[in-house]
Structure 1
Amino acid sequence: MTSDLTRQEAVREAATAAVPAALADLGNLVRIPSVAFPGFDPAQVQRSAEAVKALVEATGLFDSVRIADAEIPEAAEPTTLGERGMPAVLATRAAKNGRPTILLYAHHDVQPVGDESLWESPPFEPTVRDGRLYGRGAADDKAGVMAHIGALRAFSEAVGDDFDLGVALFIEGEEEAGSRSFAQFLSDHADALRADVIVVADSGNWDSKTPALTVSLRGNTRFTLRVRTLEHASHSGMFGGAVPDAMMATVKLLSTLWDETGAVAVEGLTVRDAETPEYTEETLRDEAGLPDGVGPIGTGTILSRIWNKPSITVTGIDAPSVANASNTLSPEISVVISARIAPGQDARDAYAAIEAHLRAHAPFGAQLEFSHQDYGNPFLVDTSGWAVADAREVLGEAYGVDPVDMGVGGSIPFIADLVREFPGAQILVTGVEDPHARAHSPNESLHLDTFRNALVAEALLLEKLDGRTL
């Protein structure tokens, strides 16, 4: 027992010492604008993959380290530009002496910057202010990449590089852009990725001091809706009042998606019945940025609205801009609708319910066209396995606070692919974010103490699994 405790302490000390180097490497990764969305430079995603590969190779721990991609399944000609997924980094090390294999997942692509004028410092220049590292990808999810690499460095520093634990590392390059080739990538590399435990470092924590395991995730469906009421634009003075324009029809149609409280009012969308922890409106206002006078929407406990009920958001609209406004009746309007789906409902069933609702409520006989549908199923973690118990233990040791099991209103659709491809694996959804990380928003940041504790926790998890015989 004494030797075990000494080894754990050695890992903990090595992990704490590894944090500055991990943060320096994180800063270098943040400087690479690796946006995988169409219209952005794919060479930057390739550059980011090469930088991650070099960091992984430098650990000297893997039998194989390579950059790989996969065909996007819908592509008819995979050699055509854009018909293959973005580059991922794949590394493998075989287990020995009956030890388990752990798969460590994160992603190196990032969200677009958005309106750069809203950033207080350049988005691709890592900047430390008030205990936080600011920059696009600093939290989501290049910090996840460096938590994995930093933990591996610390673990091998403490125990030597001849350990028995099997390790696979999968650093994806297109998660923010929809993981279009993810399922095919898993199929192509199933043998390399097969593991007993999968750590998905792409979620968050209860707060900056309290760790969490994410045990439920809402699913999502996203699609484009075109509303058409006229064959061509017409003069608003000559025909307004008698002819329905597409903007009017769109506004009236979209308003039917919610009731007077702001809750979703679409028949066929389900709700999960589950208790939620205490969470106040004051906390919601602080974490979400609700101004004075603007009230929350929906009914029930706040966390039930975020974790266990559906939501619908209009995330984009193609319509005449304010600068280009004229006295014209618009013939057609297009919007992007993003819906979050309660755990327990299939994403395609949810989409079908929303489409049926919109068709049934189309005003004035407006013509509707649906396209670009995406689907991601929700997920519930089986918390009965030994890996969850091990994860809870090391999180408590690293943070000095017992972890919380929490749900997340967002979605990680590819987890359903992991479950389908590796049904025997235990999945741990962890992360380095806190509620003020502002992932996907201007001024994204990483809480430095949270990053340190997350790295220490993962190093302790590696040590614990290396001592477990299957």
Structure 2
Amino acid sequence: MPRAHQELTDLVAIPSIADERIVDPAECVRAAEWVRDAFRTEGIPADLELTPDGTYSVIGHRPAPEGAPTVLLYCHYDVQPILDEHEWLSPPFELTERDGRWYGRGATDCKGNVIAHLAALRALRGDTPAAAADAYPVGLILVAEGSEEQGRASLDRYALEHPELFRAADVILIQDAGNIAFGVPTLSVSLRGAVDVIVRVEALEASVHSGMFGGAATDPIAALVQMLATLRDEHGNTTVPGIRADQVWQGVQYDEDAFRQDSGMLVGTERLGSGTVSDQLCARPVITILGIDAPPVVGAVAAIQAKAAAKLNLRVPPGEDPAELRDALIAHLHAVA
């Protein structure tokens, strides 16, 4: 565990946000090189592979012994932006222990999973040197993505261009999921996918005074709010034509009280959705507003803005076609605009 802690400390310290508007892309390259070198040490010959969006995935393949299956280890080394650093209880890129847990950007999603793969390889190998031919009883493929958090599907396109690598895997192990309860081993058999959509509303040549033009001039922010309000009903269920939202989860159920505590819901708030917690989280779609482009409250002036925008995240239930649901969402936004 001390080695794993040190490795996680080192990896979390690299601000690998795959957005050149926020962080120098060299930081992502540095994280990719760290992952490459770590898995090479464990006997998996890995290299940096350029993917269509300009980021690097770390790809490695150690062939299986005769007659043995091949396991693909998936992870990603990029992380979400930190937003307002002052809102953090500890420095985001400094692994910090608090109440028996380790905190830092990517400590779980997904740098902690990178370290879990490494620790599992060492446990599987035992005292056998990594370079030994019999170090592992299975074949191993490593795929460490470099822009998963951006939702650009760059690895998807890479996979289509290199299908032979992925077809060689008999099973894919993804540790980017949670347990049903702390300390309870959990096997996740499916996860919702994701599609991001950016909606923009433009109505004026420039911002105008709310006192002189308000009430008659088209208001892009108000129009955007009205559009976004049509995405859910009063219970929080998704209400977009063409997107089914009545699925039922057949697996383990998430206790209501435990969910309220885990999600940090405040006293007096109501849980969304007409299904069970597990229905809502595992089987049904949801459209989340990730961000809105509009003036901040501090410094706002008496003006109708010329334009506004929102970034939406559509979670796609298992078995549904992401492109079809995306198109349904876009069609709905046009219809209510």
Determine if the TM-score, normalized by the shorter chain, exceeds 0.5: yes
1:76 counterpart residue number? none
Cα distance in 2 for partners of 1:286, 1:173 equals 32
* Identity fraction in percent: 40
| Residue equivalent to 1:28 | 10
Measured after TM superposition, the shift of residue 35 of structure 1 is: 1.3
The amino acid across from 2:37 in the alignment is A
Q: What's the counterpart of residue 79 of structure 2?
A: 110
Please name the residue that 1:178 is paired with: 151
- AA of the residue aligned to 2:174: V
Q: 1:294 to 1:348 in 2, by over 3 A?
A: same
Contact 2:151 2:194 in 1 (8 A): no
1:202 Cα deviation after fit: 1.4
**25, 30, 40: which one pairs with 1:47?**
30
Deviation at 1:69, TM superposition (A): 1.6
The 3 A distance-change label for structure 1 pair 46 and 20 is same
Q: Is the 8 A contact 2:249 2:278 kept in 1?
A: no
- What amino acid is the match of 2:191? L
Alpha-carbon separation, structure 1, partners of 2:215 and 2:59: 61
Q: Pick from 35, 41, 44 the counterpart of residue 58 of structure 1.
A: 41
Q: Does 1:215 align with 2:189?
A: yes
**Equivalent position SS for 1:214:** coil
With the length of structure 2 as denominator, give the TM-score of the two structures: 0.90
Q: Is the 8 A contact 1:269 1:341 kept in 2?
A: no
Are 2:248 and 2:275, in contact at CA under 8 Å, matched by a contact in 1? no
Q: 1:324 aligns with which of 291, 299, 313?
A: 299
Alignment correspondent of 1:125: 94
Pair 1:275-2:275 in alignment: no
CA distance in 2, matches of 1:341, 1:180: 14
CA contact (8 A) 2:75 2:175 kept: yes
Could you tell me how far apart the structure 1 residues matched to 2:84 and 2:114 are?
26
1:187-266 pair list within 5 angstroms: 187-193=160-166, 194-266=168-240
Structure 2 distance, partners of 1:343, 1:93, is 31
Q: Is the 8 A contact 1:317 1:333 kept in 2?
A: yes
3-state SS of 1:67 partner: strand
Equivalent in the alignment of 1:71:
52
Paired residue secondary structure (1:292): coil
Tell me, yes or no, if structure 1 residue 155 matches structure 2 residue 137. Answer: no
Hey, what's the Cα distance between the residues in 2 that align with 1:252 and 1:244? 13
In 1, the alpha carbon distance for the partners of 2:56 and 2:193 equals 25
By relative contact order (CA 8 Å, sep 6+), the higher-ranking structure is 1
Work out whether residues 235 and 327 of structure 1, in 8 Å CA contact, stay in contact via their aligned partners in 2: yes
**TM-score in terms of structure 1 length:** 0.66
Kindly indicate whether residue 324 of structure 2 is the aligned counterpart of residue 342 of structure 1: no
Structure 2 Cα separation of the partners of residues 216 and 57 of structure 1: 30
Q: 2:261 aligns with which of 277, 286, 308?
A: 286
C-alpha distance after superposition, 1:92-144 (max 9, x if no partner):
21122211111111111111222111222211111222221111111111111
Given that residues 270 and 342 in structure 1 are in contact (C-alpha distance below 8 angstroms), is that contact kept between their aligned partners in structure 2? Answer: no
State the aligned residue count: 330
Equivalent position amino acid for 2:113 in 1? G
Task: Output the amino acid matched with 2:261.
Answer: D
Kindly tell me: are residues 20 and 347 of structure 1, through their superposed partners in 2, closer, same or farther at Cα, counting changes over 3 Å?
same
Unaligned ranges ≥5, structure 1: 1-18, 73-83, 363-470
Q: Which moved more, 1:280-289 or 1:178-187?
A: 178-187
On the 8 A contact 2:202/2:308 being kept in 1, the answer is yes
* Alignment match, 1:442: none
Q: Gaps spanning 5+ residues in structure 2: where?
A: none
TM-superposed CA distance for 1:275, in Å, is: 3.2
**Tell me, what secondary structure is at the counterpart of 1:273?**
coil
Letter of the structure 1 residue corresponding to residue 262 of structure 2? E
Aligned partners of 2:243 and 2:325 also within 8 Å: yes
Aligned counterparts of 1:133 and 1:118: Cα–Cα separation in 2: 17
Matched residue type, 1:293: G
SS of 1:36 mapped into structure 2: coil
1:309 to 284, 289, 303: 284
CA shift at 1:189, angstroms? 4.4
Q: Distance in 2 between matches of 1:278 and 1:150?
A: 30
| 142, 152, 156: which one aligns with 1:169 | 142
| Corresponding letter in the other structure for 1:21 | R
The corresponding residue for 1:87 is: 56
> For the residues of structure 2 that align with 1:241 and 1:25, how far apart are their CA atoms?
58
1:184 aligned counterpart, secondary structure: helix
Deviations 1:403-425 (A, max 9, x none): xxxxxxxxxxxxxxxxxxxxxxx
Q: Which residue of 2 aligns with 1:97?
A: 66
Q: C-alpha offsets along residues 419-440 of structure 1, whole Å, 9 cap, x if unaligned?
A: xxxxxxxxxxxxxxxxxxxxxx
| Cα distance between partner residues in 1 of 2:285 and 2:278 | 12
Check conservation: 2:292, 2:309, Cα contact below 8 A: yes
Alignment of 1:353-392 (within 5 A): 353-362=328-337
**Shift in Å at residue 206 of structure 1?**
1.1
- Which deviations, in whole Å up to 9, do the C-alpha atoms of 1:168-221 show, x marking residues without a partner? 222222211225421233245444452112112211211221121111222322
Is the CA contact 2:180–2:254 (under 8 Å) kept in the aligned structure 1?
no
Is the 1:319–1:333 contact (alpha carbons within 8 Å) kept by the matching residues of 2?
yes
Q: How far 1:159 moved relative to its partner?
A: 5.2
Partner Cα separation in structure 2 for residue 344 and residue 170 of structure 1:
23
Q: Are the aligned partners of 1:220 and 1:339 in contact in 2 as well (CA < 8 Å)? A: yes
Instruction: Give deviations 1:53-99, integer Å, cap 9, x for gaps.
Output: 2222222x23x332222234xxxxxxxxxxx2x22222221122211
**Contact 2:12–2:94 (8 Å) recurs in 1:** yes
